Amino acid sequence: MVKTIELVNGVVNMLDQTKLPREVIYVECKDYTMVAKGIKELWIRGAPAIGIAASMGIAIGANAINASSYDDFMKGLEPIFNTLLETRPTAVNIQWAVERTKKLLDERKDESIDSLKTFLTDEANRVLENDIEINKTIGKFGSRFIKDGDTIITHCNAGSLATGGYGTATGPIRAAVEQGKKIHVYADETRPVLQGARLTSWELMQDNIPVTLIPDNTSGAILQKGEIDLAIVGTDRTVANGDVANKIGTYMLAVLCKEHNVPFYVAAPLSSIDFSIPTGDLIPIEERGSEEVTHIFGTQIAPDGVKVRNIAFDVTPAKYITGIITEKGVFRPEDLHKLNEPGTDLESIMLKAE
């Protein structure tokens, strides 16, 4: 499995995903501004992966702070937090990383600055390792819904490359393969940045998982032919009522799945669930530059000056979602909020595979 990101000797090595699949190149980020640039320019992308990158950016940014008191250290961290938070607004994972750091530092106010710096580096590595474990657990729960012989459709890339490893949406797929189930994956190409074509199909092929790449506008036809058994996608931010923000085109796929009675699952680590937002219409949605639409790899494909709308994410209402696969189990979207309520008996609300 390819390594997305690592923190070694105070340097963040980031796989430049914009170059995939043609070149496998790691960029050395020696300061937090370079990590932020990498997130903004999609060298690294995918909600959990950018949360990990943010934790690592915080760690290397903190190392460069010259402070003698806890308060000065926290003041030094502020521009780092803000720069990272401004990179990409939809995925909640950067916010998650910043809030988690603040809380953990608050619990260690009495420690020396040097020990806080070491702690942040260790913590960033822990976030990476935990993420892989979480994805494997998502894989275990989600694979119960995959039968031998099933064909699964996915959108964008919610695989190893979008996480610390193993993937969220690819978690159940990888686990099913490990269990000896014969499965097949359809990967939507995912215009305009082509994460499905460039990343999902590449990483599945690397691991010998059977995959067929389709243009985004083909999923309807394949569903109509009855060739898909279930859909599994990732999420950038899932909110309290079970609405899901994910890569643009996810909503279209979910509506089509409903029309064809195909179950639609969302793989969501708790770090991508934002219980503070009640409904999906309140999720901040990133819009990106026009060039991603008018050009493909530097070649212009649309007329000069054409107006473009490049909305990077859409919101799929909970009513289209069969189940949300988390590291705590699989839940109906309408039950998701109960995960945030103390004392909930999770076993009693878990969705069971037939």
Furthest C-alpha separation in the chain: 66
- The region of 74-82, 97-105, 232-240, 339-347 touching ligand MRU under the rule CB under 6 A is 232-240
Output the six-digit token pair for 89.
């607004």
Report which residue type is found at 137. T
Q: How far apart are alpha carbons 334 and 168 in whole angstroms?
A: 21
Helix axes 70-85, 47-63, angle to 10 degrees: 140
Q: Which of 216, 207, 208 is nearest to 186 (CA)?
A: 216
Q: 144-163 mask for ligand MRU (x: CB under 6 A)?
A: ------------x-x---xx
The distance of closest approach from Cβ of residue 154 to ligand MRU in the complex, given in angstroms and rounded to an integer, is: 9
Q: Which of 130, 95, 141 is nearest to 275 (CA)?
A: 95
How far does CA 128 lie from the centroid of its chain? 13
Contact between 132 and 163 under an 8 Å Cβ cutoff? The reply is yes
191 binds ligand MRU (CB under 6 A): no
In the region spanning residues 242 to 271, those forming contacts with ligand MRU, defined by CB under 6 A, are 246-247
168 binds ligand MRU (CB under 6 A): yes
Q: Any catalytic annotation for residue 236?
A: yes
164 binds ligand MRU (CB under 6 A): no
197 binds ligand MRU (CB under 6 A): no
* Per annotation, catalytic residue among 236, 243, 274, 314: 236
174 binds ligand MRU (CB under 6 A): no
89 binds ligand MRU (CB under 6 A): no
Contact between 9 and 54 under an 8 Å Cβ cutoff? The reply is no
Nearer to ligand MRU, 123 or 314 (CB): 314
What residues line the site for ligand MRU (CB under 6 A)? 45-48, 91, 156, 158, 162-163, 168, 195, 234-236, 246-247, 312
Catalytic residue set = 236
